[in-house]
Amino acid sequence: MREFKYQNESGSKKGNWFFNRFDYFEFYGFEGMATMQFHSVIMCIAYMLVLAYADIWLVLLLLWPLYVAVVTLFLLQQKRCKYRGYFLFPKRIIQSLKAHQKEVDPFDFDSIASLENVHLSKGFAQHKYNHRK
C-alpha cells in the first residue's frame, strides 16, 4: 500500500502541511530540560543492562518506566506535546511541559487550517480581517 506523498501532521490526505494546534502544543526549551533528557537516557541504558542480566519478571516490571523514559525523551526532542497526554503517561510531566508552552495566535494560518476540517475556518478568517480595519 502506498502512502500519500504530502500527508500532513493532522492526518488529512489533502496535502496541506500545517500543525494541528488544537490537539498539540509546542513548548520552549527550559532550564531543567537537559537534566530530564539525561535521566531518560540513563533509564534507557539501565534498562538494557537489566534486560541482559535479570529475570523476565523484573524486566516486565520495568517496562512502564522504560516507556515513560522513551516518550519523555521523544517529547523533549520534538518540543511538541498532546494536550490530552499519552497512554499511561504521568500527567505531572505534561503539566510541567505546559508551564513552558509557546503563546499561539488563534488567527494565524496553522490554527485556521486546523479548523478547516470542522468548517470553522471561514468564520475565523472573517473575524481576523474584519478587526484589522
* Domain parsing of the chain, residue ranges: 16-104
**Looking at this protein, which amino acid is placed at residue 130?**
N
pLDDT bin (cut points 50, 70, 90) of residue 2 is very low
pLDDT bin (cut points 50, 70, 90) of residue 65 is very high
Give the angle 88-22-18 at the CA atoms, nearest 5°.
110
Cα separation, 33 vs 30, whole angstroms: 5
**Looking at this protein, which amino acid is placed at residue 100?**
H
Instruction: Classify each residue of 27-38 as buried b or exposed e, where b means 16 or more C-beta atoms within 10 Å of its C-beta.
Output: beeeeeeeebee
Average pLDDT, the chain: 79
